[in-house]
Structure 1
Amino acid sequence: MCGIAGFTRFHCDLGDETTLERMGEAIRHRGPDAQGSYLQGPIALHHRRLSIIDLSAAGNQPMHSHCSRYTIVFNGEIYNFLELREALANTGYPFRTHTDTEVILALYARKGRDCLADLNGMFAFALWDQEAETLFLARDRIGKKPLYYSSINGDIAFASELKALLAAGLVQREIRIDALRDYFSYQYIPDPKTIFEGVFKLEPGHWLEITAGGQRKAQYWDLSFLANATEEDQATKLLGKHIQKATRRRMVADVPLGAFLSGGVDSSGIVATMSQLSEHPVTTCSIGFDEKRFNETEFARIVAEKYATNHHEYVVKERVAENLLEIARYFDEPFADPSLVPTYFVSKLARQQVTVALAGDGGDEVFAGYEKYAIDAIENRWRERVPAFIRHNLLHPIATLLHRSPFGLLRRAGTLLSALATEAAMGFYLSNAQITDAQWQRIASEDTQERLSDYHPSAIVLDTYRRCDGTDHLSRILYTDIKTFLPGDILVKVDRMSMAHALEVRAPLLDYELVEFAAHLPSALKFRDGEKKRILKAVFKPSLPNAILDRRKMGFSPPLADWFRDELRNLAEEKLLKAKDGLPGYFKVERIRELWTQHQARTHDHGAVLWSLLMFQLWWQEYMSDA
């Protein structure tokens, strides 16, 4: 895993070697093993390396093709590079290294932008064609690796993380107000937006080409949910082969390798598969919390003992506030998924043992594993049975009344009725939004609401839901999450927290061929009669005990409500109620104080909203206070 950065100089001088050095220093944590720059004419490239494959200096970047026409900086891993290398070598390409980086160079020299169809992996790269004076940027299909960019007077600056662009002074720190609204609904900022005006994320499955004459962006991959008629037994066997193949490919490394083990079905299944493929005990790492209802380590221990893994555990029990300040620095946009805390600690623990870790990421989004899918299925059945005029004219007013209740159970019932009162896509948004419209209107300042005009963050879910070619509701919401929640939340969290410790994380269940296979399966093989991840559990049934397969999903989240009344109380009180800038510029401080008072009095649980407010303020303090 690595970090990349750079810029073009077709029309204006965006910087020099010193600028590149500043960009590289801002993302040093992504690649502590080596660094390199290339500055020639209209192109400037920088690379920070975390050595995984071919540890020799020959693997350092920027890397040039044998003919010197092409130069690349690359972040990621190409899992099928050995097969590609063999095929390219047979055509006469004179390879000088054993890296996957050189395979991309050779493939691009042969196929141009069409090379992306052949790459199986996680990647973000920038490739300069000296002869054509063209910069080609690309991001992997699922969005495992990040890539930010900004157009500046006809030129472009790009980097693995936003902080590199900020460090170089290449972008203005002007808050994009609709992105701020998105953040409070989703706990992250969906691509292609960022928190700043004029700065964008390259979407997963897209490429961007830049010349002196202009820029062109295109999508090279999408996911189809048109179901194939497949027998369950046959589909289970084929899925098992996909998982074995994807796991085996991700176990290739020239450095120590292990796995995250939460005790859930996904990570446990990956550890079981690794153990079956490995001649040596797998190194596994687990994180837990003091409070039992948030602690999964006992389940992780069952799997660790079954496969005699080299197991390591860590319990998060103190100094949460102190660590949170450190953790927040790695997110250069507001980000509020609370599972970032255990992800930070499990990455830290894993890095003490290994340099590469496999994880179960993607199992829930690809195979319908979240509880929200079961709830949404029930909602949709009722939505189909209750006439629209009743849902719109009766349920909505009742929901509005329930939302005003001081009791959490009644407010959740109000959210359910709101979802039932509307159409399926909007219902999915309402059921999963982290803040209601009423809460937003109560805490957002009049100026903030006026600047938003008629914008509503549900547009992101609605547009994505409608793009899916699947014919049933479950297919459409899985597509929506794979296109939004997965790359915007889950993969950002894992990337930033693992890179904070120079750890590479690989996700076999996000192999694009496996994801495509799963998408074409009938929805009933993923969710039926209340059983989530039906076919995935069938694959892992011979390998995992029933205690793992049948347990209720716990999730990877800390006890927020308790933290705000204990470990985080002093920090949160200072940041939320005494801030001089940041929150006061966009919100009504008196309303935030009201939420705080109610939460401390235990009359309400405002943990989710308070957490979003706190993480925004910590981000502001790090990236805006001294701007």
Structure 2
Amino acid sequence: MCGIAGFLQQNNNTVGLEALRRMGRSLKHRGPDDEGLFIVDARRDHQGDFMQSQGTVGLAQQRLSILDLSPKGHQPMSDQARETWVNFNGEIYNFWEIRRELEDLGYCFQSRSDTEVIVYAYRQWGIACLERFNGMFALSIWDGRRKKLYLARDRLGIKPLYYYYQEGNFAFGSELKALREYPYFEAEIDLESLYDYLQFQYVPTPRAIYRNTYKLTPGHYLALDLAGGLEERCYWDPIERFRSLSGAGQQLSEAEALAQLEELLQSSVRYRMISDVPLGVLLSGGIDSSTVAALMQRLSDRPIQTFSIGFSEASYNEAHHAQAIARHLGTEHHELYVSPREAQSVIPQLPLFYDEPFADSSAIPTYLVAKLARGQVKVALSGDGGDELFCGYTRYDWMRRFAGLGRVPRPLRQGLAGALGVLPPKLVEQAYRLVRPITPEKLRVSNVAEKFAKFRGVLGSRELIELYPITVGIWNRPELEALLPGRDGPDEQLAFYRAFRAVPQAELMSKLMLVDLVTYLVDDILTKVDRASMAVSLEARVPLLD
């Protein structure tokens, strides 16, 4: 795991070595173990000098050493001819299989790192090598022979990658803070992104909070050269994958499907246990993280380390569930109870972690459990992704129930929503506390007043695609239009709307999970896990997203 940054100039500008160094060092929390730089003026013969004072191409690396802790794992890394340079953040879990294939083709390796496998995989197969990688990654490849720069992001967006492009000035980084060190970066707020943030509680891909600044879409790569222009291509699309697999599991019995699932999960966990440093599990006590912990313990010859945090407020505390799982599995369990003051002390740090607006309050406990884990291990597995794959969110069941509301005349629903709007939030909370003990577990919610307000918005919705953003956001459309007047409405090109309409015949629950897979998972859940873990130099791995 690392922090990467760099630039390419398609105009007459150059960037200095010290500016590149600042871009890299802004990401030192992501990789405190080592740093590396590559900078050349690619318009001229640099005669083997890869650390020039000014350049048109530059790569910066901050390394968190996980595999091959020796200097041989130093990045940016090149081939022996010093023509192909790779700057890499993440892990390629099947790198040994790819390495053996490359060795059979005559390639020789100097290290045990997966980065070197990327170098020679590119030399052998070009950018099509991305299709062979099983892992989480954000990477850049400078092809010195062709004078071409590639940027790529893993299939589901586990690792972040931002870029800025304006009038021939191009820069990229693992986080926005690296771009702010780029001398030609202009930090202008994008009001369209602000509108989307107020709707979704995060800035959705491909946008970022600044103008001319973007998140690279998962499963995509960029290609650009000195001559100008930028090309983005897709090498893997979850929507197309969903279409191709629809109905594929219908020939399996339940027992066969369960056996295949267990085999896949165990294989995925085994891959993510490959490490030259200590590792553990972030254990909430829920089904997803407990499954990961159980499989990891099965594959380990000693008690694994598990980590959880607790709160004195019973409605927020899940530590007792984690304790029970840890006892059952026989893990070496670490637990920290957090006071309200300790939780509040994290809030001023959040802008430093996220760089752009981010409103998921679970960013606080995620950071705290990552900090706890980092005291003992350098790598931690988590159960993230399970809700999107196995229909885990309460809102899925509510959506199924609300889907039938379309049969009720809209004026009648709007009238009911208006009548419910006169109820004070405190009265709603008091009433819910009375009925909560008899409410089915899967329908119980926290922040009931907020959920009640969303329910009123749902009642007035015209169609399902209009209804779902209400369940994941805070502000409804009239409120958004009052806050930021002049916006015509939602951007239909966002992945949320594209995914919803791309599979019109899909069963409702499958459609909702697919939408979350390409939106909420990428820009909320995985963003939160990456920033929280990287803030304390902890590598987080997500085996459910193999």
Please, what TM-score do these two structures have when normalized by structure 2? 0.88
Return the alpha-carbon distance in structure 2 between the equivalents of residues 351 and 412 of structure 1: 35
1:204-603 alignment to 2 at 5 Å?
Answer: 204-213=218-227, 214-223=229-238, 224-225=241-242, 226-228=246-248, 229=250, 230-317=252-339, 318-383=341-406, 386=407, 390-403=408-421, 405-407=423-425, 409=428, 412=451, 415-416=454-455, 418-420=457-459, 421-441=461-481, 444=483, 448-450=484-486, 453-456=487-490, 460=494, 461-468=496-503, 471-511=506-546
Distance in 2, Cα, partners of 1:92 & 1:411: 61
Q: Could you say what secondary structure the match of 1:360 adopts?
A: coil
How many angstroms apart in 2 are the aligned matches of 1:348 and 1:303? 21
Residue 417 of structure 1 deviates from its aligned partner by: 5.4
**Structure 1 residue 99: deviation in Å?**
0.6
Counterpart Cα distance in 1 of 2:12 and 2:504: 43
Paired with 2:6 and 2:379, the residues of 1 have a C-alpha distance of 26
1:153 to 1:458, Cα distance in 2 relative to 1, 3 A: closer
Tell me the equivalent position of 1:79. Answer: 93
Tell me the distance in 2 between the aligned counterparts of 1:425 and 1:13: 46
Kindly state the Cα deviation for residue 381 of structure 1 after the two structures are TM-superposed: 3.8
Q: In the aligned structure 1, how far is the partner of 2:237 from the partner of 2:314?
A: 41
Taking the aligned partners of 2:231 and 2:29, their CA distance within structure 1 comes to 31
Distance 1:483 1:467, change over 3 A: same
Of 203, 207, 215, which residue of structure 2 is paired with 1:201?
215
Relative to 1, partners in 2 of residues 1:469 and 1:101: Cα closer, same or farther, differing over 3 Å?
farther
Summarize the Cα distance change of 1:319–1:301 in structure 2 as closer, same or farther, 3 Å threshold. Answer: closer
Q: Aligned-pair distance for 1:277?
A: 0.3
Partner of 2:17: 17
Residue identity in the other structure for 2:236: W
Contact 2:420/2:456 (<8 A) preserved:
no
**Contact (CA 8 Å) 1:426, 1:462: kept in 2 or not?**
no
Report the Cα offset of residue 438 of structure 1.
4.1
The 1:257–1:465 alpha-carbon spacing in structure 2 relative to 1, beyond 3 Å, is same
What CA distance in whole angstroms lies between the structure 1 residues aligned with 2:140 and 2:217?
Answer: 15
Shift of residue 459, structure 1, vs aligned partner: 6.5
- Give the drift of 1:342: 0.4
Q: Which amino acid aligns with 1:215?
A: L
CA deviations 1:314-336 (Å, max 9, x no partner) are: 11102333321123311101111
Q: 1-side partners of 2:517 and 2:505: how far apart?
A: 13
The offset of 1:437, in angstroms, is: 2.8
Residue of structure 1 equivalent to 2:66: 52
Question: Contact conserved, 2:457 with 2:476, CA < 8 A, in 1?
Answer: no
Q: Which amino acid aligns with 1:55?
A: L
1:610 equivalent in structure 2 = none
Give the unaligned 5+ runs of structure 1.
512-627
Amino acid at match of 1:269: T
Whole-angstrom distance in 2 between the partners of 1:84 and 1:478: 32
Q: Which residue in the other structure is 1:596 paired with?
A: none
SS in 2 for 1:124: strand
Residues 94-113 of structure 1: CA deviation (Å, up to 9, x unaligned): 11111100111111111111
Q: CA deviation at 1:423?
A: 1.4
How far apart in 1 are the matches of 2:68 and 2:366?
28
After superposition, give the CA deviation of every residue in 1:322-369 in whole Å (9 maximum; x if it has no partner): 321123311101111000000110000000000000000000011110
- Compute the TM-score of the two structures, normalised by the length of structure 1: 0.77
Counterpart of 2:203, as a letter, is I
> Does structure 2 retain, via aligned residues, the 8 Å contact 1:399–1:413?
no
Deviation at 1:462, TM superposition (A): 2.5
Q: Given residue 7 of structure 2, which amino acid in structure 1 is its aligned partner?
A: F
Structure 1 residues 416 and 464, CA gap change in structure 2 (3 angstroms): same
Query: 1:93 — aligned with what?
Result: 107
Amino acid at match of 1:477: L
Question: Is the CA contact (8 Å cut-off) linking 2:199 and 2:469 kept in structure 1?
Answer: no
Report if aligned partners of 2:95, 2:117 keep a CA contact under 8 Å in 1: yes
Q: Which moved more, 1:11-20 or 1:269-278?
A: 11-20
| Equivalent residue number for residue 134 of structure 1 | 148
Secondary structure at 1:137 match in 2: strand
Change (3 A) 1:121 1:469: farther
CA distance in 2, matches of 1:417, 1:264: 30
**Aligned with 1:180 (options 178, 182, 194):** 194
Partner of 1:158: 172
Contact 1:171 1:199 in 2 (8 A): no
In the alignment, is the contact (CA less than 8 A) between 1:327 and 1:344 conserved in 2? no
Quick one: which amino acid aligns to residue 314 of structure 1? Answer: L
> Is 1:405–1:411's contact at 8 Å kept on the other side of the alignment?
no
| 1:358-411 deviations in Å (ceiling 9; x for gaps) | 00000001111010111111112443xx1xxx4333213432443454337488
Distance, in Å, in 2 between the alignment partners of 1:170 and 1:236 is 54
* Counterparts in 2 of 1:360 and 1:414: CA distance versus 1, 3 Å: closer
Any idea what SS the aligned residue of 1:449 has? Answer: coil
State the distance in 1 between where 2:14 and 2:493 align: 35
Residues 89-145 of structure 1, C-alpha deviation per residue, up to 9 Å, x if partnerless? Answer: 111011111110011111111111111110000000000000100001000000010
Instruction: Confirm or deny: 8 A CA contact 1:181 1:457 kept in the other structure.
Output: no
Q: Which moved more, 1:143-152 or 1:318-327?
A: 318-327
Equivalent position to 2:83, from 58, 61, 69: 69
| Aligned residue number for residue 32 of structure 1 | 32
Q: Give the drift of 1:499.
A: 0.4
Give, in angstroms, the shift of residue 154 of structure 1. Answer: 2.1
> C-alpha separation between the residues in 2 aligned to 1:46 and 1:412?
45
Contact 1:404 1:411 in 2 (8 A): no
8 Å contact 1:399–1:415 — kept in the other structure?
Answer: no
CA RMSD of aligned residues (A): 1.8
Q: CA deviation at 1:436?
A: 1.9
The 2-side partners of 1:92 and 1:401 are apart by 75
Kindly provide the amino acid, as one letter, of the partner of residue 100 in structure 2.
Answer: E
Shift of residue 14, structure 1, vs aligned partner = 4.2
Q: Return the alpha-carbon distance in structure 2 between the equivalents of residues 305 and 164 of structure 1.
A: 43
Distance 1:404 1:478, change over 3 A: same
Report the Cα distance in structure 1 between the residues aligned to 2:226 and 2:533, rounded to whole angstroms.
Answer: 37
Partner of 1:574 in structure 2? none
Instruction: Output the amino acid matched with 1:8.
Output: L
Q: Structure 1 pair 469/354, CA: closer, same or farther in 2 (3 Å)?
A: farther
SS in 2 for 1:293: coil
| Number of matched pairs | 500
Q: Which sits farther off after the overlay, 79-88 or 326-335?
A: 326-335
5+ residue gaps, structure 2, are 42-55, 429-448
